[in-house]
Amino acid sequence: MLKVVVGHSNDPDSLEAITEVLEQCHQSLSGDIPQAGILFAAIDFDHLLILQQINQTYPEIQLIGGTTDGEMSSVLGFEQDSVSLMLFCSDRITIRAGLGRGISQDLEAAVETAIVQAKTGHQEPIKLCITFPESLTASAALMLDSLNQALEKKVPIFGGLAADQWRFQQTYQFFGTEVFSDAIPILLISGDILFSHGVASGWKPVGKKGTVTKASQNILYEIDRQPALEFYHHYLGKLPPSSEYPLAVFDVDESHYYMRAPSGVCDRVLGSVTFFGDIPEGAIVQITETTHDRILTASQISMMQALENYPGKVPAAALYFSCSSRRQILGSRTKEEYALTQTGLTQELPSSGFYTYGEISPFKHQKISCFHNETFITLLLGGA
């Protein structure tokens, strides 16, 4: 059995906010002691104080989290400038936290350190990994590749990159009672855990496909041996590449695609376009388009996929990871995203989530995880 509770406060004072959150959790726990937790918090809170308060209440808790570009939960729905805490209780599921520091200096060593630490105490095979890593100091695609390799491509990975409310200055990662930057915190889960997920964006490919013929990590120089900017201009006229028209990047057999959003930076002399994630040379790409309604409907589709694939009777909790670019485009309609995830439920489901600088999950029906942009990820959790 898995019991999950959520607390969420939009009080601007850090101490008042976490006090309210912990009281909400205490009432829902009804005396149970949580084994692990996930904390999402806006960038301007006193994160160290918040973590210390959680630790004083639950000294043995395995806790990770990160800063956000917006928060959502079953308590308050969508909020900005808030604090959300999800706690997990189970005597048949093991959840352990690990942290790797300095991912920009030695990525493989940081990932390995986090995994070794988080594997401590597990008696059964690891079934699931959740992570909220740094977004600004290292390539997220390379980081995820390293994590997939370290877990021998056997463990699906879910989560999102820490954010800082579209400032792109510094994000923070949480581990126990400490606050870090340039780090990767993870939870590894084993035992009688059940889970399923859904992935949807709302964008649809249009026009002809092209092949990436020159790229360097997140800078795309050429498509079909022509400047990348010309590829965009062919479809958009003189409109600059923007997050409203991301690229679909197809997998090897072109049955699935992940999204790559332009950052707004381009070099008109070189014809290059910079994205919020790496694009490999040789990849097949296609311009995409959408509407606000289709972006919103994607959150509902993501939730329905997860519900249809859930292997148990009723999930115990939901985690949501949505892209900060989606929030930027949706504006005042952002609150509808979370609301639409609830339309397929017959009863309230404890849930928490945040707006990220990039989302992490496998494609539908796959195990190996991928780095996404502009996508809505649903992760359902429960006990066997």
pLDDT tens per residue across span 155-177: 999 999 999 999 999 999 999 99
**Residues 152, 30 share a domain:** yes
Number of H helices and E strands in the chain, helices first, is 8, 27
Q: Which of 263, 289, 315 is the last residue of a domain?
A: 289
Is pLDDT of 342 > 90? yes
Is pLDDT of 237 > 90? no
Q: What stretches of 92-203 show up as alpha helix (H) in DSSP? A: 107-119, 140-150
The predicted pLDDT at position 236 comes to 86
What are 73's two structure tokens? 């939960």
The predicted pLDDT at position 362 comes to 95
Q: Judge whether 160 and 357 are in contact, CB under 8 Å.
A: yes
Is pLDDT of 365 > 80? no
**Residues 242, 130 share a domain:** no
**Residues 171, 159 share a domain:** yes
**Residues 366, 255 share a domain:** no
**Nearest 5°: phi and psi at 72?**
-145, 150
The predicted pLDDT at position 251 comes to 80
The predicted pLDDT at position 255 comes to 77
The predicted pLDDT at position 316 comes to 97
Mean local confidence (pLDDT), 337-359? 94
Is pLDDT of 14 > 90? yes
Q: Quote the percentage of the chain above a pLDDT of 70.
A: 100
pLDDT band at 254 (very low <50, low <70, confident <90, very high): confident
Spatial neighbors of 321 by CB under 8 A, at least 6 apart, are: 158, 159, 160, 353, 354, 356, 359, 360, 361, 376, 377, 379
Q: Which of 219, 254, 289 is the last residue of a domain?
A: 289
**Residues 191, 65 share a domain:** yes
Mean local confidence (pLDDT), 337-348? 91
Residue 116 amino acid letter: V
The predicted pLDDT at position 256 comes to 87
For the entire predicted model, the pTM comes to 0.97
Give the span between the Cα atoms of 164 and 320, in whole angstroms: 18
Q: Which residues lie across from 179 on neighbouring strands?
A: 174
Give the span between the Cα atoms of 256 and 361, in whole angstroms: 13
What are 225's two structure tokens? 């041996």
- Domain total of the chain: 2
**Residues 304, 273 share a domain:** no
**Residues 108, 143 share a domain:** yes
**Residues 258, 227 share a domain:** yes
Spatial neighbors of 235 by CB under 8 A, at least 6 apart, are: 206, 207, 245, 287
Residue 242 amino acid letter: S
**Residues 278, 304 share a domain:** no
Q: Which of 221, 255, 289 is the last residue of a domain?
A: 289
pLDDT band at 364 (very low <50, low <70, confident <90, very high): confident
The predicted pLDDT at position 51 comes to 98
- Average pLDDT in the chain: 96
Structural domain boundaries, residue 101: 3-200+294-383
**Residues 70, 181 share a domain:** yes
Q: Which of 153, 164, 159, 149 is nearest to 184 (CA)?
A: 159
Mean local confidence (pLDDT), 371-383? 97
**Residues 137, 194 share a domain:** yes
**Residues 136, 11 share a domain:** yes
Burial of 167 (0-12, 13-18, 19+ CB in 10 A): exposed
Q: What is the pLDDT of residues 172-230, one digit of tens each?
A: 999 999 999 999 999 999 999 999 999 999 999 999 999 999 999 999 999 999 999 99
Element (H, E) at 15: helix 14-29
Give the orientation angle of helix 14-29 with respect to helix 47-57, to 10 degrees.
30
